[in-house]
Amino acid sequence: MPALSVVIISRNEEACIARCLRSVHFADEIVVLDNNSTDQTRDIASGLGAKVLITLDWPGFGAQKNRALAAATGDWVLSLDADEWVEPPLAAEIRAAIANPKGCDGFEIPRRSRFCGRIVRHGGWSPDLVLRLFRRQSGRFSNDTVHEKVVVNGKVSRLSHPMEHDSIADLADAHDKIGRYAQASAARMLAEGKKSSISKAVLRSVWAYMNSYVFRLGFLDGATGAMVAAYSAGYTYQKWALVALGRKSRCAEESRAGVKGKSAGFRNRPG
């Protein structure tokens, strides 16, 4: 039977890390790469048999997950977030898939997400296929600072049973994630030269709400669908507004630098 490593990155995940780790007890190895948690995350993970490593810096999600991947030793790797877990039917399917992969190097897994404890079935959250199971020698994570993905060199198939995901625990968690993910996304977009304005941020957020709640049938999830749409709109607005403000700040800095450069050039010009 090929060996399976589970890799997880964490930071202050004491509320959910135990559920995640207990759900993958069938793995041969569990690697938890912790980013300087100040709660009991590391103690809980160690107590449940995980190999716990610590980093003090934060290079972004993709690079951090590649660090965890580098510490894995199994033939196959299952990547999980601390707020995800595996139910017995998926566990059995994973074991069967790596025992008889039929020439595949990776497997997509459908993910069933929850918002404030309620399963989200529409609004663009379902179906949500994520490539998380792969041969260690054939896959790696993209270096994206946010919204990273697994890139596999080879054939990819799909499992049928879902991975469970407690995406948003409560409204405080939603507010926190909007802020963190918007800042990370805006930094990446600014680095790519993207442009925005506050008016565009408003329009994009309105579209995000309508797309989630109306066009992707979020209204079928009732009040939960409305909250998911509002979450999407809030994240979209903050992301594009930060790009607009960041661009404005950068242009102001470049303008000041240009004025100083011209003045210096005038003073040093030979007479």
CB 230 within 8 A of CB 116: no
Residue among 62, 43, 105, 200 nearest 54 (CA): 43
Termini Cα distance of the chain? 82
Residuewise pLDDT in 10s, the chain (271 residues)? 899 999 999 999 999 999 999 999 999 999 999 999 999 999 999 999 999 999 999 999 999 999 999 999 999 999 999 999 999 999 999 999 999 999 999 999 999 999 999 999 999 999 899 999 999 999 999 999 999 999 999 999 999 999 999 999 999 999 999 999 999 999 999 999 999 999 999 999 999 999 999 999 999 999 999 999 999 999 999 999 999 998 766 555 544 554 444 433 333 333 3
The count of other CB atoms within 10 Å of the CB of residue 175 is 13
Beta bridge partners of 162: none
In angstroms, the CA 210 to CA 224 distance is: 15
In angstroms, the CA 103 to CA 106 distance is: 9
CA-based Rg of the chain, rounded to a whole angstrom?
Answer: 22
CB 90 within 8 A of CB 130: no
- Map residue 165 onto helix, strand or coil: strand
Domains with residue ranges and CATH for the chain: 4-168 (3.90.550.10), 171-258 (no CATH)
Q: Which 8-state DSSP code applies to residue 162?
A: P
Residue 127, preceding peptide bond in cis (omega within 30° of 0):
yes
pTM reported for the whole predicted model:
0.87
In angstroms, the CA 138 to CA 99 distance is: 16
